[in-house]
């Protein structure tokens, strides 16, 4: 059973640059979630998909963030014009249904200098 994978694992970028992260969920899972976690805090929900449809986006998510899941399989999260406050761990998770347990990937750690 292949788990959730995320690429890259680490990303260092300069302020103002755009970055894109990829998440590959467990193959039969139709729900995919993105979270952000800063040091010493719990994950903060960003958005989630059922198949290719983006069902919800956190009000905390600025317009610089966009996520896609074009064929209902992998997903990408793009951050435009990065700011130092975007530095965090970005976690992806997937599940069969949304009241079931979510399987998390290892995360992508973003550092904006």
Partner 1 sequence: AQKITQTQPGMFVQEKEAVTLDCTYDTSDPSYGLFWYKQPSSGEMIFLIYQGSYDQQNATEGRYSLNFQKARKSANLVISASQLGDSAMYFCAMRENEDNFNKFYFGSGTKLNVKP
- Residues near partner 1 (CB under 8 A) are 33, 35, 40-45, 48, 55-56, 58, 89, 91, 93, 98-107
In the complex with partner 1, the residue whose CB is nearer, 25 or 107, is 107
Query: Which helix (H) or strand (E) is 63 found in, with range?
Result: none
- Sequence-separated (6 or more) residues with CB below 8 Å from residue 47: 33, 34, 54, 56, 57, 58, 61, 65, 67
Residue with Cβ nearer partner 1 (74 or 103): 103
Minimal distance, residue 32 CB to partner 1, in Å: 13
CB of 36 to partner 1, least distance (A): 11
- Minimum distance, C-beta of residue 106 to partner 1, in the bound complex (Å): 6
- Of 19 and 46, which has the nearer Cβ to partner 1? 46
Which region, left, alpha or beta, applies to residue 40 given φ > 0 means left and ψ of -120 to 50 means alpha?
left
Pairing of strands 19-24, 5-7: antiparallel
């Amino acid at each position: 059973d292949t788990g959730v994978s995320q690429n890259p694992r680490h990303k260092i970028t300069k302020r103002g640059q755009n970055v894109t992260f990829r998440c590959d969920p467990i193959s039969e899972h139709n729900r995919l979630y993105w979270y952000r976690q800063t040091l010493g805090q719990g994950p903060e929900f960003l958005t989630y998909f059922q198949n290719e449809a983006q069902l919800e986006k956190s009000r905390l998510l600025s317009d610089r963030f966009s996520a896609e899941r074009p064929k209902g399989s992998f997903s990408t999260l793009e951050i435009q014009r990065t700011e130092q406050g975007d530095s965090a761990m970005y976690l992806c998770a997937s599940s069969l249904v949304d009241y079931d347990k979510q399987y998390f990937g290892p995360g992508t750690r973003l550092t904006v200098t």
